[in-house]
Amino acid sequence: MKPLIFPLVYGFLFTFSLMLLSTMERSFGAEPSGQKLFAANCVRCHGLNAKGSMPAAKSLKVDPVQLDLTRESVVEKSAKYLREKISDGHGKMPPQGPRLSPSQIQSLVRYIQSLQKAYVLKAQGDK
């Protein structure tokens, strides 16, 4: 009976390390792909740091503040709200749902939230 325990332990360790690896990949992998998607689809209006693009605001005839995704009123919003706005569009923002998959939109939401977090931390540091 005793030798049976070894394959079990090794099997368990193997499964556990695979699980750990896939979690790591998810947490480190999501941001770069969100960043790429953001650069390809959103930067021309929302700017590199999601703080809004001045020329885009001018040509869209919107207040530049509306393009700033790191402002407080957007930081307060839920992931669900962000997903819906990205997918369905918002005012002068064209819907992105037809061009992006739900998982791409999810990566974008995570990326925007990471920019928001960085911005909030910086703003607190500046005080």
Which residues form the interface with ligand HEC (CB under 6 A)?
41-42, 44-46, 56, 60, 62, 66-67, 69, 74, 82, 85-86, 90-94, 96, 108
In the complex, which residue's CB is closest to ligand HEC? 91
**Minimum distance from CB of 117 to ligand HEC (Å)?**
15
Cβ-based nearer residue to ligand HEC, 30 or 93: 93
Are 85 and 91 in contact, with CB atoms under 8 Å apart? no
Max distance between CA atoms of the chain, in angstroms, equals 77
**Minimum distance from CB of 60 to ligand HEC (Å)?**
5
Cβ-based nearer residue to ligand HEC, 29 or 94: 94
Cβ-based nearer residue to ligand HEC, 14 or 63: 63
Residues with Cβ within 8 Å of residue 126, at least 6 apart in sequence: none
**Minimum distance from CB of 84 to ligand HEC (Å)?**
9
Cβ-based nearer residue to ligand HEC, 11 or 94: 94
Q: 29 in helix, strand or coil?
A: helix
**Minimum distance from CB of 120 to ligand HEC (Å)?**
16
Other residues' Cβ atoms within 10 Å of the Cβ of residue 49:
14
Tell which phi-psi region holds residue 19, choosing left (phi > 0), alpha (psi between -120 and 50) or beta: alpha
| 94 DSSP assignment | P
Closest to 94 (Cα-Cα) out of 48, 58, 44:
44
